[in-house]
Amino acid sequence: MFIKNLIFKIIYFLILIYILIFVSTIFGHKPLVIISNSMNPVLKVGGILYYENIDLNELKVGDILVYKTKAHIISHRIVEIKEEGFITKGDANNTIDSNLINKNQVLGKGTNWSIPFLGYYADFIYTHKYLLVISIGILIIDFVTEKKEGKRYEKKIE
């Protein structure tokens, strides 16, 4: 019984963590897993960065810009703002990014902090969603059977 309870507590905890990662989307803050060291030491690989949609006119030099390319979503710091778009650079990179970021590529403004290591977990669960569904199913079955056993126990006492 102890092992079963421990396993279920771990499953509950892991599901709760996953929900907490994504609950911020209700408030417009989207999570992004950091996959490169280009913004080290501010944003470390495996962390989660949050970004939000923002009026492009509110962006300023020094902000972390989250934008999409054909292959990736990137978060780099704005070093210059031009009429045509943004010039960015990763904090750990020696040179500015070679491509001008067009305004239609911008996803939002990122935070200047990240939650370390949680990105590994979020990415794993996101790519293996069936594990989340199975875990929730197991918890529901356990909850229902516990309720039935509780009712049987109450009837025996009467």
Residue 149 lies in a domain: no
Residue at 150 is within a domain: no
> 134: domain CATH number?
2.10.109.10
Average pLDDT (11-20) is 88
Total Cβ atoms within 10 A of residue 123: 14
Q: Is residue 152 part of a domain?
A: no
User: Is residue 153 assigned to a domain?
Assistant: no
Contact 56, 109 (CB under 8 A): no
- Residue 30 has a pLDDT of 96
Kindly state whether residue 151 falls inside one of the protein's structural domains. no
pTM above 0.85, yes or no: no
In the chain, the amino acid numbered 106 is V
Helix, strand, coil percent values for the chain (each to nearest 5):
45, 25, 30
Quick check: 157 pLDDT over 80?
no
Compute the distance between CA of residue 96 and CA of residue 78 in angstroms, rounded to an integer.
Answer: 10
Tally of structural domains, the chain: 1
Interval 122-130 mean pLDDT: 88
pLDDT at 53 over 80: yes
Whether residue 59 has pLDDT greater than 90: yes
| Domain-located, residue 157 | no
* Better pLDDT: 87 or 142: 87
**Domain span holding position 120:** 2-144
Return the pLDDT at 22: 87
At residue 139, the pLDDT reads 85
Higher-pLDDT residue of 67 and 10 is 67
Q: Kindly report, residue by residue over 66-112, the tens digit of the pLDDT.
A: 999 999 999 999 999 999 999 999 999 999 999 999 999 999 999 99
- Asked whether residue 132 is domain-assigned, the answer is yes
**pLDDT above 90 covers what percent of the chain?**
61
